[in-house]
Structure 1
Amino acid sequence: MRETANQFIAQGWDVTVVTIADESWERDFGLDHTLSERVDPRVRIVKLPLVREDLETDIRLFSEDRALRPVQWAAAYRKKGMKDFPEPIYGGWKADLERAVTRIHRDRPADLVLATCVPYVNMAAALHLWETQRVPYAIDFRDGWSVDVIGAGEAFAPDSFSGRWERKVLSQALSLWLVNDPIADWYRERHPDLADRFHVVRNGYDEDSVPATTRTPDPEAGLTFGHLGVVTSPPRILKAVLDGWRIARERDPLVARSRMEIRGQIGSGAAREANAHMEMIRQAHAQGQAVSFGGPAPKAEVPDIFASWDVLLLMIMGGKYMTSGKVYEYAATGLPVMSAHAVEHDATTVMTGHPLWTGAFGFDEEALAGAYIDAARIAVEATDEDRAAARKHAAQYARATQMGPAVRRLIARVDPGATQLGEPGVSSPSSSTHEVEDLSA
């Protein structure tokens, strides 16, 4: 999303980003302000004081009903969110979002709205400006809505409340961006009359988030296997990964001398770092398996973190419809990558041809143990030429390479006669304009 805003700025556009207040982000997943430092200073940011009441942890602020009947309160809260838009919790934001974008458009008339999902209720605000002011819009759909990227099936039927809303929103959109070909193909089959509007715009990686060089492994001291990313997969996946690690340490002297570091977000809201995943990590550490958790990693520190590791552990749930935000960075580091995900997975598409990749073997603990051993061997045997070839393989997924053409194509749809500027760039980091929108106005 940051790259998208910067790309529009680089093409000469005036950009207003509508988001929620910092306090609301903190309540959910937290904030990494080092990401904000690369937002072009010409971007105007409007923050709406929308909050998720269900993430409030101060019991002094609970209603009597929530305090005495928390399960029933939560069910009612989700049902209320579904009243105006078919999305639990966030559906309740629909009216506030519509009023906010209407006021913003009144003050600074828009030529285009780009709604980014999730939440999907953002699309309702874009549709509202189209229906009331005829402002064209596009949707940065990412994983899509009606496709179940985890279960690899249909999330809801076309004639359901959600299905009717999706069709209504998509039918008026100029363009629809999706993260990979399987999801795009799903939508082309589901909406054949809109097939030419679906475009694959992969997540990609920021070139400043990968290290310029990597360290030389020291097999005598042991290697460091690292996982960086949000850990949201079912606990059984982490269990298989840790069981495979234990078996590999029993069988291979090099892995036995090595250690595993996990960095990133584990859980959200009140469950952050207080869940089954953390219990398994603590247990592995207590059993002497050399497993540690270092907490979330600020974006600015990512290159140094990668540079301190010898092997990357790519642990992802889902199947052919699931990619990953981190797989692109992993591929671009020049480090060996050990996969812990389904064989039929879009991460496999990204990694195929990468000279330092172990391949994917699913979540069988025996197969994972073999992958750990193979990855350790690859790390020790990899040459500078191998690492350079790995970076070259990943270069096609640089974020600017992915987003630049997509933004220029969208601009051409809005204004076919627009004169395109040169290669997009990003201004020197500075402070963007921040405004807090008053929803009571």
Structure 2
Amino acid sequence: MRQSLPSALARLTRVARPRSRSGARPHVIYLAIGFPPAAKSSAYRLRETANQFAALDWDVTVVTICEEAWEREYGLDHSLSAGVDPRIRVVELPLARKDLETDIRNFSEARSLRPREWIEQQRKRDLTVFPEPVFGGWRFALEKAVLRIHREHPADLLVASCAPYVNLAPTWRLWEEHRVPYVVDFRDGWSLDVITGEAAFPEKSPAGRWEKKVLEQAGAIWCVNDPIARFYQERYPSVADRVRVVRNGFDEDGVPTVEHRVDPEAGLTFGYLGSINFSPVLLDEVLTGWRMARRDDPLIARSTFEVRGHIGAGALREANAHMELLRAAEPDGVVFGGPVAKADVAGTYARWDALVLMLVGGAYVTSGKVYEYAASGLPVMSAHEVDHDAARVLAGHPLWTGAVGLEPVRLAESFREAGKLAVGATEADRAAARAHAHRYTRGAQLRPAVRAATELAAAPNPSTEAVATGGGRS
């Protein structure tokens, strides 16, 4: 049920069902910017989290931003919305990234004449409201929305999914004024640069002070993998026992279930599915490895490499260095097919014979797609650093070629190995690959965490003595 803020609030009702502290059916406000139909990789996790609360008979109010905002960015995928529990209320706020506006008729004179300076000034204004560029300026609109929702239909719990980290501002405001317990779903973490593994900002910086005070009062802090969780446990020892690993996982309707048949004489189809948010350098290394494999291996030479997903946002959507590389590789059997709707994911995997897992980062990055890849029953070749958390997920997978780094010559070897696995794999091998990934179903990952979060609403209000106040409304 997708509504604007006024209409959503007008229709909120209570029904006599399982009780919260207030005696009514428990109500969770879920700050989930990127909720379906936003074509964002985070949308799967957001949808499943909301669905899990609804399955436990909670009233769920999702707060996100308007569809027009997503049309500016990666776009919309309405097939994602089909899997949202119909009892969930979705409140859309009229917020959007001004920097992604492409209609020059909406540009100010300053932006038209000095676009770079305009962006810089916009970033500075955002940071004066909340210490996060691009999204910081949304703080007061989010606070106002959350307080109004709570006033009309009191919340027993708030869950804030980050990024954007400005979601922490309304989380704190509701805690300050009404002591509503909350969970922070950090996913990748704020003060951690998951690419470098270094701290993104000092503890005494504005962002550091915000993070510290919000985490100190959080009922639970969710992270997507063990390295990120350890980072937060070490950075904030006082909350270490509240830090929990809640992996992304895969949706069972997103993997093929039909018997896979390979025609080596016609050639194989290698596939990549996911947002292309890694550097052009990484893509170039993979394409170079692909060309080397085609030169030396007759099977790969008559095969194709299909790349699917979102490339760029706003004015740079499919108009960037990545696209130039892909177009240049077309004579080498490389095809770019654009994004894939959620409803078509399983069918896309069913057409492919082997998967190419291109990922940025290292030990602190997992990626949501690795679970889907692992569960597909197809051979998986890795194109990422050797010390990568995705390698921990794939360890023991019977159809994985292993992590060999990003040197083209090593990647060429992996392409050849994946081709051999695709031709030689039996249905028993594919079944073993699916079984390896079974523990990573998205529901299995989120269900225990959501159940534990619901217990916060039934607990007595925490002591207010330790509440940090510095910078709360500055």
User: Above 0.5 in TM-score?
Assistant: yes
Question: Which residue of structure 1 lines up, in the alignment, with residue 344 of structure 2?
Answer: 301
Give the distance between the partners of 1:362 and 1:49, measured in 2 at CA.
44
Equivalent positions of 1:347-358 (< 5 A) are 347-358=390-401
* Number of the residue aligned with 2:187: 142
Choose from 269, 278, 290 the match for 2:314.
Answer: 269
Deviation at 1:10, TM superposition (A): 0.6
Alignment RMSD: 0.9
Tell whether the 8 Å contact from 1:101 to 1:129 is kept in structure 2 after alignment. Answer: yes
Post-superposition offset of 1:413: 2.9
The one-letter code sitting in structure 1 at the alignment partner of 2:169 is A
Match of 1:251 among 262, 276, 296: 296
Residue type of the alignment partner of 1:121? V
> Which residue in the other structure is 2:360 paired with?
317
SS in 1 for 2:332: coil
- Separation (CA, whole Å) in 1 of partners of 2:300 and 2:197: 34
Contact 2:383 2:406 in 1 (8 A): yes
Q: Do 1:178 and 1:202's aligned partners in 2 also have CA atoms closer than 8 Å?
A: yes
Residue 223 of structure 1 aligns with which residue? 268
The alpha-carbon deviation at position 325 of structure 1 amounts to 1.2
Give distance in 1, aligned partners of 2:287 and 2:458. 53
Superposed displacement of residue 48, structure 1: 0.1
Choose the corresponding residue for 1:403, options 446, 449, 453. Answer: 446
Q: Which whole-Å deviations, capped at 9, do the CAs of 1:62-113 have from their partners, x for residues lacking one?
A: 1111111111110000110000211002000001100010111111110000
1:70-109 equivalent positions in 2, closer than 5 A:
70-109=115-154
User: What is the distance in 1 between the residues matched to 2:416 and 2:175?
Assistant: 56
Is contact 1:18-1:48 (8 Å) kept? Answer: yes
1:250-293 CA-to-partner distances (Å, cap 9, x unmatched) read 000000010000000011111110000000000011xx200000
Q: Counterpart of 1:326?
A: 369
Report the more deviating stretch, 197-206 or 52-61: 52-61
The aligned residue for residue 204 of structure 1 is 249
- 5+ residue gaps, structure 1, are 418-441
Does 1:281 find its partner at 2:326?
A: yes
Q: For 1:133 and 1:194, locate their aligned partners in 2 and report how far apart those are by CA, in whole Å.
A: 22
Counterpart in the other structure of 1:40: 85
State which of 363, 382, 385 in structure 1 corresponds to 2:425.
Answer: 382
Q: Distance in 2 between matches of 1:221 and 1:93?
A: 53
Q: Aligned residue for 2:214?
A: 169
Query: Relative contact order (C-alpha < 8 Å, sep 6+): which is higher?
Result: 1
Structure 2 distance, partners of 1:171, 1:31, is 36
Superposed CA offset, 1:317-357 (max 9, x none) = 00000011110000001000010001000100100010000
Q: Which letter does structure 2 place at the counterpart of 1:134?
A: R
**Helix, strand or coil for the counterpart of 1:6?**
helix
Deviation at 1:214, TM superposition (A): 4.3
Amino acid in structure 2 at the alignment position of 1:94: R
Alignment of 1:106-185 (within 5 A): 106-185=151-230
Deviation at 1:154, TM superposition (A): 1.1
Match of 1:433 in 2: none
**Quick one: which of 38, 52, 64 aligns to 1:7?**
52
Q: Could you tell me how far apart the structure 1 residues matched to 2:97 and 2:447 are?
A: 34
* Distance in 2 separating the partners of 1:214 and 1:345: 31
Q: CA deviation at 1:58?
A: 1.0
- Deviations 1:222-277 (CA, angstroms, capped at 9, x unpaired): 00000000001011000000000000000000000100000000111111100000
Partner of 1:370: 413
Q: State the alpha-carbon separation in 2 of the partners of residues 300 and 83 from structure 1.
A: 41
Residue 434 of structure 1 aligns with which residue? none
1:281 & 1:184 partners in 2: Cα distance? 36
Q: How many residues were matched structurally?
A: 415
Between the aligned partners of 1:342 and 1:214, the Cα distance in structure 2 is 32
Question: 5+ unaligned residues in a row in structure 2: which ranges?
Answer: 1-45, 461-474
How far, CA to CA, are the matches of 1:361 and 1:161 in structure 2? 40
Give distance in 2, aligned partners of 1:84 and 1:57: 25
> Could you tell me whether the CA contact under 8 Å between 1:214 and 1:335 is conserved in 2?
no
- Asked if structure 2 preserves the Cα contact closer than 8 Å seen for 1:80 and 1:89, the reply is no
The answer to whether the 8 Å contact 1:182/1:321 transfers is yes
Is residue 2:395 matched to residue 1:359? no
Which residue does the alignment assign to 2:334?
291
Task: Return the alpha-carbon distance in structure 1 between the equivalents of residues 260 and 318 of structure 2.
Answer: 30
What is the correspondence of 1:226-245 to structure 2 with a 5 Å cutoff?
Answer: 226-245=271-290
Question: Could you tell me whether the CA contact under 8 Å between 2:377 and 2:430 is conserved in 1?
Answer: yes
